[in-house]
Structure 1
Amino acid sequence: MDYLNETIDPSCLHEPPLALDVIHQLDMFGVALYSILTFMASVSLLLYLEECVYIYKNVPSPKKTTIIWVNGAAPVIATMSCLGMWIPRATMFTDMTSNSYFAVVIYKVLILMLEECGGDEAFLRYSESQMFRINTGPCCCCCLCLPRVPVTRQMLFLLKLGSLQYAIMKTVLSIFSVVLWTNGNFDLSDLEITGAAIWINPFIGVLTLISLWPVAIMFMNIRNTLRRVKIIPKYAMYQLVLILSQLQSAIISILALDGTIACAPPFSSIARGSMFSQQLMIIEMFIVTLVTHKLYRRTYDLITLDPHENDNELNKMVKLHTASLEEHVA
């Protein structure tokens, strides 16, 4: 065992390097790579700020607040990944900030679909005779025997609560994890039964699945109604950010813990895996930002009914927006 320890570079057992150490070890390729990735993250943030100004001027409340929250998922993750790339020891803080923000976005996606329907009251009024499917992912996609449920105010409250709980609990557990980490009790590489990470992370995973279910139920049942506002590609972008920020990062972390991602001084295996994850995230979130900028930067006008249109779903959507307009006028 002592012989094996002597063959391991001491830096592979140390904490992630300081920011100055990262800068000093960069070669020409590293400088070019870090510069390009920083530029991508900066452009993502600037595009988001420009989009916020446009949404604020052209969209009425409260929809504009919801759109700004949802539209900020990719730029916020890209910005935090860029900070974590330059300052490796801040990775835990940047990752938890990104994850906590996205936890709120999951709830806001549900609210956005309701507001595109004209609000809660309009949604309930024109969905009271419908029955919603609940056998959808990620919890019950295989449970075909589950009955359809009526659309009621109580059912809508439960859907909102299911998504809201994750936004609250994720933030609370993130703060708790940081407190434990400062005391030396939280370590992602500690997989023993006495470690805090082995209990907190699976619990967060369960809360995540519970929060995704209500959003999937709402989308599966009203996607045709909201097709004219491009809800399907918007939902696809939300799902893509979810997969990249959660599943991809988890896979890279497992590979780093397993030693598949080799140590490269001054980066240990875990720190190097985290660096790879952040660099990939910046590129991916930059592309997602460009797509979402195109989807959300549109003219937000009330949809009018075409007398030659026989699409029942379009008629339903027009009624929802008309009811919402009548409520504002009243």
Structure 2
Amino acid sequence: MDFNGTDPSCRRPPPLALDIILNLDLFGIILYSVLTFMATVSVLIYIEECVYIYKKVAANKKSAIIWVNGAAPVIATMSCLGMWIPKATMFTDMTSATYFSIVVFKFLILMIEECGGDEAFLKRSKNKTFRISTGPCCCCCPCLPQVPVTRRSLFILKLGAFQFAVLKVIFTILSIILWTNGNYDVADMEITGAAIWINPFVGVLTIIALWPVAIMFMHLRNTLRSLKIIPKYAMYQLVLVLSQLQSAIINILAMNGTIACAPPYSSQARGYLMSQQLLILEMFIITLVTRLLYRRQYEPLPDGESDEESKMVVSSNNTANVA
């Protein structure tokens, strides 16, 4: 103990992987083995799903579905690496966040491709409008006007999601460069630190990117209901909440010292460890659910106009039979 009554080991940097292995007890060995097994199974399920998608799915949907399906396995894998190699936590978290930034854009593209592509979407949504008073930006502003569905508005929605995929990669590279120079530290909340400026800006970009996806989902949720778009969107949102919000809350508690240190882990390193272990379990479950949702026959979506006409014909025939 030092003169403040704090264990000096609680101030140490994250331990090496070898130190973790040497300090594991029986429970730790079982826990680490089970979590590693879950992460490995998640990757194997994803690989098998990629093979299925490559063989069964039309070319215009393959890329989007593979990217979206990979969110949970990638996060589980990065969390597993961070669990075994605590010193690499910053890089594994950055990799997961960067991948998910691309998933945000790809999920928007997936919804459009499920309609048959841009042209089919515009034809199907002719004379319709986007409701922009939705989360995460404007859910509290129901008075906002509805925007007509045009090629320009569709491009703006795509651009809103695409900017996050590009800028997140740029800021990740910038953060790594600053880290090598000693200017970037996730735990450094001083006004002179780079993290206090980069992280809030990335947060704003995230909100801006999530908004177009929410707008598109609200517009297509009834059209794509037969394709299970609602549970798919729920899984996408769940990955977002667990990988971003849950991790942020745990890390904030750790930096404030709410989570006690447990040598060889400092309070912050133990917070990262808890977050990663939870994510492995959660992403494993999401991987299983996602496989069930996307494991289907990918047939073209029926045309909206023909559906309406067929319903009118059926209803008129039923009326004639009753008469």
The answer to whether the superposition gives a TM-score over 0.5 is yes
Retained in 2: the 8 A contact 1:80–1:98? Answer: yes
Deviation for aligned residue 1:126: 2.0
Match of 1:75 in 2: 73
Partner AA of 1:301 in structure 2: E
Q: 1:112-138: per-residue Cα shift (whole Å, max 9, x none)?
A: 000001100011112120011100000
Q: Tell me what 2:15 maps to.
A: 17
Structure 1 residue 5, shift from structure 2 partner = 4.5
The Cα shift of 1:6 comes to 5.0
| Candidates 271, 275, 278, aligned match of 2:276 | 278
* TM-superposition CA deviations, 1:4-23 (whole Å, max 9, x none): 64522222111100000010
Residue 95 of structure 2 corresponds to 97
Contact 2:116 2:300 in 1 (8 A): no
Q: Percent identity?
A: 69
> Counterpart of 2:84 in structure 1: which amino acid?
W
Segments of structure 1 that go 5 or more residues without pairing to the other structure are 306-310, 317-330
Shift of 1:300: 1.3
Matched, 1:40 2:46: no
Of the three residues 98, 111, 114, the one matched with 2:112 is: 114
TM superposition shift of 1:314:
5.5
Q: Which residue of 2 aligns with 1:205?
A: 203
Q: CA deviation at 1:266?
A: 0.5
Report the secondary structure of 1:286's partner residue. Answer: helix
CA distance in 2, matches of 1:35, 1:91: 19
Give the whole-Å Cα distance in 2 for the aligned partners of 1:157 and 1:143: 23
- List 4+ stretches of structure 1 deviating above 6 A: none
**TM-score, normalization: structure 1?**
0.91
Query: How far apart, in 1, do the equivalents of 2:128 and 2:197 lie?
Result: 41
Over 3 Å counting, the alpha-carbon distance change for 1:158 and 1:313 in structure 2 is farther
Distance 1:222 1:304, change over 3 A: closer
Give me the TM-score of the superposition, normalised by structure 2. 0.93
Name stretches of at least 5 consecutive residues in structure 2 with no aligned partner. 310-323
Q: Is the 8 A contact 1:225 1:313 kept in 2?
A: no
**Which stretch shows the higher mean deviation, 196-205 or 121-130?**
121-130
Alignment of 1:87-166 (within 5 A): 87-166=85-164
CA contact (8 A) 1:129 1:151 kept: yes
RMSD of aligned C-alpha atoms? 1.7
Task: Name the residue aligned to 2:313.
Answer: none
Structure 2 counterpart of 1:232, which letter?
I
Aligned to 1:65: 63
Q: For residues 48 and 308 of structure 2, what CA distance do their matches in structure 1 show? A: 33
